[in-house]
Amino acid sequence: MERGLGRRMESRILIAGRSGSGKQLTSIIISSKRLTLRSACDSDLDTLHKIIFSDSEVMSQAFAGKTLSRQESTHFFKNYFDHDGNGKQLGVLVLDHPGTIIGFAGLVECRVLGRKDYEIGFVLARKYWGKGYASEIGIAQIEYGLGDAGCERLLALVSPGNVASKSVLHKIGMIHHSTIETETRGTRDLYVTQSHP
């Protein structure tokens, strides 16, 4: 696995657009060669709804496997995204040049193995599939999670039919642990990686 891509940059602040009067500050969670994972701001919701949450092909492989209405997108965005830069929720994934939102990623609490762990994940707009961005942010999340975030192990849950994401998980060094049934996402292949003393 290529190292050195995931860097926490707590001191760097980005200014993101906000509809209405002014700008909203965001914090960088992870920075890699081409990507930045940052905290969310209110204006991100419109873009994420358009390129991710309302796209049936993208959402067929994520979460419950269905698109979200605008109201569901708003609820999900407000409750599961990192709005304060804590680094242990979903963040907005930005392609550094030209600064375009391409999806979301981040560490999310996960208890499928009977204890508090964190799951890595990445959901990219279709336009950005097949360009190596999933592998890049996957590696960066592992480095961040096992390093700065202090996790002993990280998990990934993927739909058994999602061959592309499973290939990425293998490529970034995660190992298939088991196939499980989840309450909200159905059958999922579970992948694991651990810190090494």
pLDDT in tens, 146-189: 999 999 999 999 999 999 999 999 999 999 999 999 988 899 99
Determine whether 155 is exposed, middle or buried from the number of CB atoms within 10 Å of its CB (0-12, 13-18, 19+): buried
30 Cβ contact list (under 8 Å, min separation 6): 6, 7, 8, 36, 37, 91, 137, 140, 141, 144
Cβ contact 158:121 at 8 Å? no
Query: In angstroms, rounded to a whole number, what is the distance separating the alpha carbons of residues 1 and 176?
Result: 16
Give the per-residue pLDDT at 63. 87
Report residue 65 as tokens.
């496997």
Task: Judge whether residue 10 has pLDDT over 90.
Answer: no
Give the per-residue pLDDT at 197. 65
Strand order in the sheet with 13-17: 13-17, 23-31, 35-38, 90-95, 100-106, 122-124
Look at strands 153-158 and 117-119 and give their pairing: parallel
**Level-2 CATH architecture, domain 13-194:** 3-Layer(aba) Sandwich (3.40)
Of 23-32, 104-113, 162-171, minimum mean pLDDT range = 23-32
Give the per-residue pLDDT at 4. 45
Tell me phi and psi for residue 76, to 5 degrees: -60, -45
The pTM (predicted TM-score) of the whole model is 0.87
Query: In angstroms, rounded to a whole number, what is the distance separating the alpha carbons of residues 73 and 66?
Result: 12
Query: In angstroms, rounded to a whole number, what is the distance separating the alpha carbons of residues 85 and 40?
Result: 8
Mean residue pLDDT of the chain comes to 89
Domain chopping of the chain, boundaries: 13-194
Give the per-residue pLDDT at 54. 98
Give the per-residue pLDDT at 22. 53
Task: Judge whether residue 108 has pLDDT over 90.
Answer: yes
The full DSSP string for 39-93 is: ---TTHHHHHIIIIIT-HHHHTTSTTSS---HHHHHHHHHHHB-SS--SSSEEEE
Q: Could you give the percent of the chain with pLDDT greater than 70? A: 88
Q: Where are the beta strands (DSSP E) in the chain?
A: 13-17, 23-31, 35-38, 90-95, 100-106, 108-110, 117-119, 122-124, 153-158, 175-182, 186-194
Task: Judge whether residue 45 has pLDDT over 60.
Answer: yes
Q: Identify the three-state secondary structure at position 187.
A: strand
